[in-house]
Amino acid sequence: MAPKLDDVAKLAQVSKTTVSRVLNKRGYLSQATIDKVYAAIKELDYHPNVVARQLYKNKTNLIGILLPTVANPFFGELTAALEMKLYQQGFKVLIGNSMNDPAKETAYLNELLTKQVDGLVVGTHNQGIKQYEHRDLPIVAIDRIMNQDIPIVESDNYRGGVVATTRLIDQGAQHIIHINGPRELATPARRRRDAYEAVMREHGLTPSTYEIDFNLPEGRKKQLFRQLLIDHPEIEGIFSSNDTDAALIMQLAHELGRKIPDELLLIGYDGTKTVRELLPSLTTIVQPIDDLATTAIQVLNDRMQGITTKKEYILPIKLWQGDTA
Q: Domain ranges in the chain?
A: 5-56, 60-154+291-317, 157-288
**For residues 108 and 96, is the Cβ–Cβ distance under 8 A?**
yes
The pLDDT tens digits of the residues spanning 201-251 come to 999 999 999 998 877 888 898 999 999 999 999 999 999 999 999 999 999
**For residues 187 and 144, is the Cβ–Cβ distance under 8 A?**
yes
Per-residue model confidence (pLDDT) at position 136: 65
| DSSP characters over 115-178 | TT-SEEEE-------GGGG-TTS-EEEES----TTS-EEEE-HHHHHHHHHHHHHHTT--SEEE
Average the pLDDT over 128-142 and give the result.
75
Write down the architecture of domain 157-288 according to CATH: 3-Layer(aba) Sandwich (3.40)
Q: How confident is the model at residue 48 (pLDDT cuts 50, 70, 90)?
A: low
Angle at 231 between CA 194 and CA 255, to 5 degrees: 100
Q: How confident is the model at residue 50 (pLDDT cuts 50, 70, 90)?
A: very low
**For residues 260 and 324, is the Cβ–Cβ distance under 8 A?**
yes
Of 89-93, 129-133, 144-148, where does mean pLDDT reach its minimum?
Answer: 129-133
Per-residue model confidence (pLDDT) at position 2: 67
pLDDT at 32 over 60: yes
The domain 5-56 having CATH identifier 3.40.50.300: the answer here is: no
Q: How confident is the model at residue 127 (pLDDT cuts 50, 70, 90)?
A: low
> Identical fold at 5-56 and 157-288?
no
Per-residue model confidence (pLDDT) at position 51: 41
Rounded Cα distance between 325 and 172, Å, is 10
Percentage of the chain exceeding pLDDT 90: 55
Average the pLDDT over 22-49 and give the result.
81
Average the pLDDT over 86-111 and give the result.
82
Per-residue model confidence (pLDDT) at position 130: 67
Rounded Cα distance between 168 and 146, Å, is 33
Per-residue model confidence (pLDDT) at position 53: 47
Helix (H, G, I), strand (E, B) or coil at 323: coil
CATH number listed for the domain at residues 60-154+291-317: 3.40.50.2300
What residues form DSSP beta bridges with 265?
A: 237
Per-residue model confidence (pLDDT) at position 289: 96
Q: How confident is the model at residue 183 (pLDDT cuts 50, 70, 90)?
A: confident
**For residues 263 and 234, is the Cβ–Cβ distance under 8 A?**
no
Average the pLDDT over 273-285 and give the result.
95
